[in-house]
């Protein structure tokens, strides 16, 4: 059963700010924050004007670079606006069960550069509705981010295809599947 997203919470809410990358910080090594910081550092060496938005529910254990402002525990509206007003989401996770952020970003019209973890390979198609890189590949993250930032046509295609993908995972579509699976399991007991 796939996870679902609430279309009442995640939808386009503002215009994307140019050259803005968002990532969700968590100190757990499985979330790949160290990889994101390195990839973004490399990207800023090539594109010094890139702005970064960092959001998270756990404060960083060590200081982030000064050009990475951190927003602690955003509510759903702030998260939606961050997705919607970012040029691209970087999702650097090394391990996930499902991995909702790329799907939430898709629903908000934000293209993503994501690792090949969790359900990403099932819901994402590289270069179609997202950009997929191997987990831990910092160089590929930086390269793909730069490509998305530099190519407005690619961003538009990823955004449009991502919104169509997210629509397939809206709660009103996946909840009946979950209910049916539970009923099937109960009838076999």
Q: What is the pLDDT of residue 180?
A: 82
User: What's the rounded mean pLDDT across residues 135-162?
Assistant: 98
Region 20-187: CATH code: 3.40.50.2000
For residue 135, what pLDDT is reported?
A: 98
Instruction: Kindly report, residue by residue over 48-82, the tens digit of the pLDDT.
Output: 999 999 999 999 999 999 999 999 999 999 999 99
User: Where do the domains of the chain lie?
Assistant: 20-187
Instruction: Express each pLDDT in 161-182 by its tens digit.
Output: 999 999 999 988 888 787 888 8
Each residue's pLDDT tens digit, 118-131: 999 999 999 999 99
CB atoms within 10 A of CB 189: 4
């Amino acid at each position: 059963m796939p996870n679902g997203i609430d279309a009442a919470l995640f939808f386009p809410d503002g215009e994307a700010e140019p050259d803005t990358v968002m990532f969700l910080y968590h100190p757990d090594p499985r979330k790949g924050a160290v990889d994101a910081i390195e990839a973004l550092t490399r990207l800023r060496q090539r594109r010094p004007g890139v702005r970064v938005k960092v959001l998270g529910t756990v404060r960083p254990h060590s200081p982030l670079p000064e050009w990475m402002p951190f927003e602690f525990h955003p509510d759903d509206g702030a998260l939606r606006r961050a997705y919607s007003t970012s040029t691209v989401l970087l999702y650097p996770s090394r391990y996930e069960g499902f991995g909702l952020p790329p799907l939430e970003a898709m629903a908000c019209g934000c293209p993503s550069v994501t690792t090949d973890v969790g359900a990403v390979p099932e819901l994402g198609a590289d270069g179609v509705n997202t950009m997929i890189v191997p987990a831990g590949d910092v160089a590929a993250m930086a390269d793909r981010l730069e490509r998305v930032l530099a190519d407005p046509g690619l961003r538009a295609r990823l955004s449009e295809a991502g919104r169509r993908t997210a629509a397939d995972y809206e709660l009103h579509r996946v909840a009946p599947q979950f209910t049916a699976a539970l009923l099937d399991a109960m009838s076999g007991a």
